[in-house]
Amino acid sequence: MAGQLVAASLQQVLFGVLLLIVSAWTWRARLHETPTPAASCHCLIALLTGSGLGLLTGLLGVGGGFLMVPALIALGISHFPTAVTHSLVLISVNATASGLTYLGTVHTESRTLLIVGFLAVVGSFLGSKLLKHVPRKPLQRGFSIGLALLGVAMLLQLWLA
């Protein structure tokens, strides 16, 4: 809902900068190869992190894995598959809550939602199978580079317009 109060150009700048920040953090993140014992809950930090992610979701319409996984890793879940699993559950809750705030205020294309949703489910199954065969470090580096390229492209697009 907050996103409707902010100019689209400012949202694009914030999103581009956010992509660059997450890209740099992802490049440097240290991940464990095997699951580690559960860390004690730093509940205040988790509360602040969740609130920040919720604010970004409302303001910029983001909150997916590119934010959730780094946040979970920073909170102590440093095994990538475990962080991804947690993020997918949290993304579902976050996306549902955010999507409900927009229903009735913006037009939605049911057919597009169904097609993209179906393809996302298929892609998730394929991706989880593929992930078992891709080395973690090159995947982490490639993801970081992809985020950086997207962030630069978004900022360049706005600057050139």
Give 99-132 pLDDT, tens digit per residue: 788 778 888 888 998 999 899 999 988 988 887 7
32 vs 119 pLDDT, higher one? 119
Q: How far apart are CA 158 and CA 37, in angstroms?
A: 45
Residue 20 C-alpha from the chain's centroid = 13
Instruction: Return the pLDDT at 37.
Output: 67
pLDDT tens-place string over residues 127-152: 888 877 888 788 888 888 998 999 99
Q: How far apart are CA 30 and CA 42, in angstroms?
A: 19
Please give the sequence-ordered ranges of beta strands (E in DSSP) within the chain, or none if there are none: none
- Among 22-26, 30-34, 37-41, 84-88, name the one with the lowest average pLDDT: 37-41
Domain count of the chain? 1
Look up residue 64 and give its amino acid. Answer: G
- Residues 27 and 141 sit within 8 Å (Cβ to Cβ): yes
Q: Which two tokens stand for residue 23?
A: 């890209």
Q: How far apart are CA 93 and CA 91, in angstroms?
A: 5
Whether residue 1 is predicted with pLDDT greater than 60 in this model: the reply is no
Q: Which domain holds residue 107?
A: 2-160
Instruction: Return the pLDDT at 112.
Output: 93
Q: What is the pTM of this model?
A: 0.70
Look up residue 53 and give its amino acid. Answer: L
